[in-house]
Amino acid sequence: MQDLLKPDWGVLALTVLNFALLVFLLAKFAWKPIIGALEKREQQVRTDKEMAEKARLESQQIKQELDDRLAHISQEAAQKMAQAVKMAEAQQAQIIAAAKEQSAAILAQAQEQITAEKNKAFAQVQNQIAQLSMMAASRILAQEVDEKSAARVVEDVLKEVKTK
């Protein structure tokens, strides 16, 4: 059992040599390509992650810009709407004023026409009264008139007037 702890220098040296050679050969033919592939893949993952982060930031920025623009457009639309309402109100007031003016003018014109027509009618009535008076007077003057005949004349004149 004491041999268990007795070192075999030959085995020790051979193991050192064997292991050193194995490390060297594996480093050259196995670990180098594997570590290279691993680092390449990790680099790819890092690049993809960075790109994704960049794209996320860009999309966030674009969204912010669009939101700002949308807010601006809404504000502008509200302003334009208010302006249009104001313009429409002004136009409405203008149209109402013009209509009122026009109606007043038409009314005045109508009143003038009515007055003229009235005056004309008065003039005609006056003429006719005058003519009738003249006619009545001439009839009265043409015959001797008693009360009964005078009344008959008046009735005749009135009938004549009614028929006219």
Q: Which residues lie near another protein (CB under 8 A)?
A: 1, 3-16, 18-23, 25-27, 29-35, 37-38, 41
Nearer to another protein, 40 or 86 (CB): 40
Cβ within 8 Å of residue 139, ≥6 positions away: 153
Nearer to another protein, 13 or 99 (CB): 13
Question: Rounded to 5 degrees, what are φ and ψ at 7?
Answer: -70, 140
Nearer to another protein, 13 or 137 (CB): 13
Minimum CB distance to another protein, residue 44 (Å):
13
Place of tokens 């860009």: 58
Minimum CB distance to another protein, residue 55 (Å):
27
Cβ within 8 Å of residue 140, ≥6 positions away: 150, 153
Query: Residue 75: exposed, middle, or buried by beta-carbon count in 10 A (0-12, 13-18, 19+)?
Result: exposed
Minimum CB distance to another protein, residue 51 (Å):
22
Nearer to another protein, 11 or 134 (CB): 11
Name the residue among 128, 121, 159, 153 with its Cα closest to residue 138.
153
Minimum CB distance to another protein, residue 9 (Å):
7
